[in-house]
Structure 1
């Protein structure tokens, strides 16, 4: 029977999974009789089954557990499928005391010879068998879309010139890769080079985890945490491998073994909450393997090749230009999804849109059409608050510049180019700011900075929306008298809103790049940041479409600048 015949026979019975393409791929892989294909099929069918069972769980619940064993032990599945079916599922893919197929293979323990085809076949029979217990259609969660792929596509353009043969030779001569899994590693390269990045990642990530686990156990002298998965022992997972500590007081030596840059890349790709978290997404069936971004796959392949090259004879590596290019890329890598990186990225976005204030104002403060497009058209010289905010802002800038023994004017400081130059200052991210509840409060500071600049972005966007709406109404002569006064007030207040927000963004930039110096005054500093956050939140409220309270924004800005000056003094 062909794969198409099988699918035609089972089509109605597997539609409940909403993963017909994955199941078809599993059948196709089983037909090849290659052990590596059977291994890949089991990885696919276990993640597919977990996702489908999670959708069933959500028929009666609002949040799906992150672990398959919790889904299988739920009353919802027992109610829908019955205790016998659930018991069978638990025996095969359930907790550690079961066969535990899902965890054993997704954590990279077995070789291809150790995975019998009967396991994959059994699960592929289970999938259509479960249909009979379901009543009607099941709502399905949409696959995860990886928005981070473009960032890697941009930074990987010049180094992705490895050939399949070169990568395989590199792996064959590297002591990093367990020899008993070399066939699986070679198959990963074949999948990558035949433009199947999703399938390549499904196979490569468990193998990479296991190879890292082996090195972790060697360098940390804990052989008991390495090679086997046992029912009575919790094995070492990727989160522990990439953690700062082996135990509470013992530091992980893996970073010094493979390099901090490699660890940073792995955490970016696999563990940081704002990153793609590709291992979690693929293993839990959240991502579509057939549309998986090639750039993310390339990033994992490149860092993997670099790790393998570190475990080769030195002469084998130093002569290969492509390995030198990879090494250069790895060594210069800066985290993309660490909290510090997120703050930097958000500051860049906000300074860019903040610089567009002038072009969004099409009318003068007297509501005449602008002709010269200079500041005099939109800044009312009789509006005393303008002078007051400039005075307060200048005082704050002078106070800080005096502290740092530099001389800068307000025009130089509140400038996107200057802020961009400050953001080029490197801030240590490795094993930093993991939480806000530890002894130091760096994590809380970073979180506050991110919230502040995010609020600034919202305020600017709301002001631009208000300008666009009211000015369009003015053009069309549909503004009522009260709305006309509101637009006039908005244009008159824009200078103060803009200058206040630009100062706040500059201050967050200063905080970020000087965070190492804040240790002795963290409590006072956090109190100041919370005050600034409250200010930006209030601005957000005043500037939303329901309020449009522009003079309140001005008064609040002046009041806050005075408070800031007191904090800095």
Structure 2
């Protein structure tokens, strides 16, 4: 798998949405922020409304990229202002996020630094935002199940009726279409190296969530009834523990670090995630551990799938990503042919044996 070591998993056209220029005028930036740090969505929408066709939901790549380039200096300028301000996040309008606001604040207020922090915070922010929007859909539809896919949730008339075009168009550019930034899917499917996600996205997500909370508060919607949580998750975990022989002692951190360091085909940038995972495991910070390891497991399986099937598994425009679901499908379907997934047909043991990271 040496050829995967330096292989970029994000197509260069998609990476156009993940650049940093640091060219902005501070006085210009202030037009896009209200005094309470909520976004001026009307002013932001004015930057790109002529590039997108809201009636046809025409979020194609070229128009989305043009819109992003208009937004980039605003994103970077807001990030600069936010980074140099002493803000109390407990005063931000996060109540609408429900119980997850507690965990969000713990993540954002941590002073710990690691190379993976931007990706980690993006994982938490995107998942909390998606969950809160789904709760909002649930409440406003008399307890109807929200759409399974985020892009369908963002495209729902229910959210559009609450927030309107100016707000929803920005959310779609950031998270709602594979032809734009597609931030949530890029990070949660394990594609980026730590340095590939600019830190201004963390700031913009924070400000967006606060801004949505301010918008809901103006409509007298503060705290939402949350959807029922999985109540039997602990029972399911206990069933797994009863069926698997797992080590009773924790991993030796120094031994784990050495194994990761000496791993041959895993790119050194992706190794940073595993160094971080060993830290969380050693400290018994299992919530942080689970959030970070899920996309990394998918990443490793994607590498194995690529090797077994001689298949390009990078994130590309106009194509479905190779995700956990497709990795375990029996067939590989492309425009040219339909073939058997060799990972399922017997090579999985050999492939995992080659790729495993021993705990």
Question: Quick check: TM above 0.5?
Answer: yes
* TM-score for the superposition, normalised by structure 1: 0.43
1:70 and 2:152 are equivalent in the alignment? yes
Structure 1 contact 175–311 (Cα < 8 Å) conserved = no
Aligned counterpart, 1:88: 170
Q: Deviations over 1:358-404 (max 9, x none)?
A: xxxxxxxxxxxxxxxxxxxxxxxxxxxxxxxxxxxxxxxxxxxxxxx
Aligned counterpart, 2:140: 60
1:77-476 alignment runs, 5 A limit? 77-134=159-216, 135-136=220-221, 137-145=223-231, 146=233, 147-155=235-243, 159-161=247-249, 162-175=251-264, 177-223=266-312, 226-227=313-314, 229-247=315-333, 249-255=338-344, 256-259=346-349, 307=352, 310-311=354-355
Counterparts of 1:92 and 1:158 in 2: how far apart (Å)? Answer: 40
What's the CA shift for 1:33?
4.2
Q: Deviations over 1:11-36 (max 9, x none)?
A: xx11111021122133124x434331
SS at match of 1:259: helix
1:47 and 2:47 are equivalent in the alignment? no
Counterparts of 1:53 and 1:84 in 2: how far apart (Å)? Answer: 16
Q: Deviations over 1:172-230 (max 9, x none)?
A: 3334633331111111121122111221111111112122112211211222xx13x22
Structure 2 contact 304–355 (Cα < 8 Å) conserved = no
| More helix, by proportion | 1
Counterparts of 2:297 and 2:275 in 1: how far apart (Å)? Answer: 13
Aligned counterpart, 2:66: none
Aligned counterpart, 2:107: 26
Aligned counterpart, 1:373: none
SS at match of 1:39: helix
1:514-525 alignment runs, 5 A limit? none
| Number of equivalenced pairs | 263
Structure 1 contact 258–310 (Cα < 8 Å) conserved = no
Counterparts of 1:97 and 1:251 in 2: how far apart (Å)? Answer: 29
Q: CA distance change for structure 1 residues 28 and 7 in 2, over 3 Å: closer, same or farther? A: same
What's the CA shift for 1:132?
2.8
Counterparts of 2:188 and 2:107 in 1: how far apart (Å)? Answer: 16
Q: Deviations over 1:417-458 (max 9, x none)?
A: xxxxxxxxxxxxxxxxxxxxxxxxxxxxxxxxxxxxxxxxxx
Counterparts of 1:122 and 1:237 in 2: how far apart (Å)? Answer: 27
Counterparts of 1:103 and 1:158 in 2: how far apart (Å)? Answer: 31
What's the CA shift for 1:84?
0.4
Counterparts of 1:257 and 1:185 in 2: how far apart (Å)? Answer: 25
Q: CA distance change for structure 1 residues 23 and 158 in 2, over 3 Å: closer, same or farther? A: closer
> Rg: which structure is higher?
1
Counterparts of 2:112 and 2:297 in 1: how far apart (Å)? Answer: 25
Structure 2 residue runs of 5 or longer lacking an equivalent are 1-82
Structure 2 contact 138–227 (Cα < 8 Å) conserved = no
SS at match of 2:322: coil
Q: Which has the higher contact order (CA 8 A, sep 6+)?
A: 2
Structure 1 residue runs of 5 or longer lacking an equivalent are 263-306, 318-322, 327-569
- Please tell me the root mean square deviation across aligned C-alpha atoms, in Å: 2.8
SS at match of 1:159: coil
What's the CA shift for 1:167?
2.4
Structure 1 contact 22–45 (Cα < 8 Å) conserved = no
Counterparts of 2:130 and 2:89 in 1: how far apart (Å)? Answer: 20
SS at match of 2:88: helix
SS at match of 1:250: strand
SS at match of 1:222: coil
Structure 2 contact 123–187 (Cα < 8 Å) conserved = yes
Counterparts of 1:37 and 1:219 in 2: how far apart (Å)? Answer: 32
